[in-house]
A and B are shown apart, each in its own frame.
Chain A
Amino acid sequence: MRDRFVSTLMGLAEKDPNVHLVTGDLGFGVLKPFWERFPDQFTNAGIAEQNMTSFAAGMALEGRTVFTYSIGNFPTLRAIEQIRNDCAYHEANVKIVCVGGGFTYGSLGMSHHATEDLAIMRALPNVTVMAPSDAAQAQLATEAIYAQPGTCYLRLGRGGEPNLGTPAEEFEIGKALPVSDGEGVALLFTGAIGDEVIEARDTLAADGHQVAVVSFPTVKPIDVEAIVNLAQRFDTLVTVEEHNVVGGLGGSVAEVLAELPSPRARLARVGLDDRYSSIVGTQKYLRDAYGMSARAITERVRQVLNG
């Protein structure tokens, strides 16, 4: 996803000299092709995310489309008020890009685990929040936020995510995309955790339970229509995200469901159970340790089915 983002951005920068990339001194080996090819459209703002974000707002208010780039929580939480006041309130064309949503940087420790970013960014008016799930979605999301006026947030995985086969012509901001159909239970997910979801689906299918899978590359605006339809078609919706269960995809779906008349689907949220991660491990290890691996998803669905 990360590399596809960079190659996509290079395509945009080629066509539009107003596209500008600002990094908070991160992207070693990743951004190099960009800065070598577009030195005039690249700025290293140093290890100073608050300034980077306001600086980007200033450039955007002068007509540029500015992508800020960093990892984990640095481009978001570190500069949240700069995003709120200087970017979003001014409807500035700042596109905030985080590499490493969730436990991507698992072994680096809690500081590098982005597990509240979706919730916090989603709480800001005028901000589009996207968490694509594979390289193709990352490309489509990058192109979409470039074309979308105003402040956007793009949360990326590092790479190696399974291809969901998203048809480009069906991709748009705010639209959920069906991955596979089923009955009884639908798994709704966002971000780079698609491999766990697909594995859980296949395990359950081997048990004779064909659950549906729906991809939500956009967390805000959430696809209300899709959720309403799913809530009528299925008994249970299970949200899966590499994020706190509070305020992200699970929270978004809960908000929609709560306002629907009965009968509607029940909701189960899989994700980080409103806690900080302190265990050391790889992304895969931590997903399992904190209950959002294929095993945990499968277990949760079985509970629902037996419930």
Chain B
Amino acid sequence: MNSLELAWRIRRHGVEMTHLSGGSHIGSILSVADIVAVLYAGIANVRPEDPEWEDRDRVILSKGHAGASIYAALAERGFFDVEELRTHYSDGSRLSGHVSHKGVPGVDLSTGSLGHGLSVGAGMAYAAKKDGKAHRVFVILGDGECDEGSVWEAAMVANHYGLGNLVAIIDHNRMQSLDFCEDTIALHPFGDKWRAFGWNTIELDGHNHEALTAALEGCRGSDKPTVIIAETIKGKGISFMEQNILWHYRFPHEGEEYDGAVAELNAQRPLNGESVKASAR
């Protein structure tokens, strides 16, 4: 499956999963979908049939609230049955709202509290570097998450130890929980901050698969850690959700919202393929 199709399916699953469960964070799931899709469609070297393969690339979703995107990608890649996505958020499910590794093949780290993933990823990358391993560690962060001081602790350590096998990808949708990032705790000049921290810093359109792919391939073998600041749109793909803070929390309700979201996505389907099964809540 190519990355465009995978991104579409992640979005379609995201709408379905939040609709069925009444779950939050559809805006984030939609903004990060292309990043996750590019990783899982080919960049991240993982084996669905052997999820704990020692030489796999590690993928950490530090902004754990967009966990549905990872679950959808893993299911579409065959780590577990796509049908299981329908249990997301529900009683007895292993697919919690924030991404969890417990019993879920393919998840390298449980997250949910922000500001943990880059530090753990740095530790993984450091160990891999010491062991002379070739695999890489990808950590997807939110931009609002960079309010957390521990992110910058990790940024300093990764630079100090020259962790060229560590790649941070920031879903820079410019919105956080209550408001725009710049009106909350200003991040900018965001790229300059990372450059000042010694990181190989790439700024690109986070919905452009060619750009993402080129950056993720191009930083292979770097002697410095790489951060890709991916400019994204919160709620990308569903017009009434885009750039609207309401959809950090709201789920697509039965009727106009759900039908409208599905109709918009269906109109964007990149290729003919097996459709994602829709259902009433």
CB within 8 Å of B: which residues of A? Answer: 40, 43, 45-46, 48, 50-51, 53-64, 81-82, 85-86, 89-90
Contacts and interface: CB of A to CB of B under 8 A. Distances in A.
B44 interface: no
15 contacts: A43-B161, A45-B157, A46-B156, A50-B153, A51-B150, A53-B119, A54-B123, A55-B120, A55-B122, A58-B121, A58-B125, A59-B127, A82-B150, A90-B101, A90-B109
Contacts of B102: 89
Interface of B: 101-102, 108-113, 115-116, 119-128, 130-131, 149-150, 153-154, 156-157, 160-161
Contacts of B110: 85, 89-90
Contact of A85 (B112, B121, B130): B112
A17 to B, nearest CB: 10
A46 B123 contact: no
B130 A55 contact: no
Given A43-B126, A54-B120, 20 more contacts: A50-B115, A50-B150, A51-B119, A51-B154, A51-B157, A54-B119, A54-B154, A55-B119, A55-B154, A55-B157, A57-B123, A58-B120, A58-B123, A58-B127, A59-B127, A61-B120, A62-B123, A85-B110, A85-B116, A86-B120
B157 A86 contact: no
Nearest to A81: B113
Nearest to A79: B150
B156 to A, nearest CB: 7
Given A48-B157, A90-B109, A54 B127 contact: no
B126 A48 contact: no
Is chain B's interface secondary structure helix, strand, loop, or mixed overall? helix
Contacts of A55: 119-120, 122-123, 126, 154, 157
A260 B126 CA distance: 50
A82 B122 CA distance: 14
Contact of A58 (B113, B124, B149): B124
A45 B119 CA distance: 11
Contacts of B156: 46, 48
A258 B225 CA distance: 54
A70 to B, nearest CB: 14
A161 B43 CA distance: 56
A190 to B, nearest CB: 30
A289 B19 CA distance: 61
A58 B126 contact: yes
Contacts of A54: 116, 119-120, 122-123, 150, 154
Contacts of B122: 51, 54-55, 58
A54 B62 CA distance: 12
B121 A40 contact: no
A62 B150 contact: no
A45 B123 CA distance: 10
Contact of A50 (B126, B149, B161): B149
Contacts of B131: 62
B42 to A, nearest CB: 24
Contacts of A58: 119-127
A56 B119 CA distance: 9
A47 B171 CA distance: 28
- Which 3 pairs between the two chains have the least Cβ-Cβ distance? A58-B123, A54-B119, A51-B153
A90 B104 CA distance: 13
Contacts of B161: 43
Nearest to A87: B120
A45 B122 CA distance: 11
A57 B120 CA distance: 6
B138 to A, nearest CB: 13
Contact of B130 (A40, A57, A81): A40
Contacts of B119: 50-51, 53-55, 58, 82, 86
A57 B126 CA distance: 11
Contacts of B160: 46
A53 B120 CA distance: 8
Nearest to B127: A62
Contacts of A57: 120, 123
Question: In the complex, which of the residues A50, A55, A60 has the most CB atoms of chain B within 10 Å of its own CB atom?
Answer: A55
A59 B101 contact: no
A61 B124 CA distance: 7
B67 to A, nearest CB: 14
Given A55-B126, A58-B127, A86 B116 contact: yes
A56 B153 contact: no
A51 B125 CA distance: 14
A62 B153 CA distance: 21
B127 A46 contact: no
B166 to A, nearest CB: 10
Given A48-B157, A51-B157, A90-B110, A59 B123 contact: yes
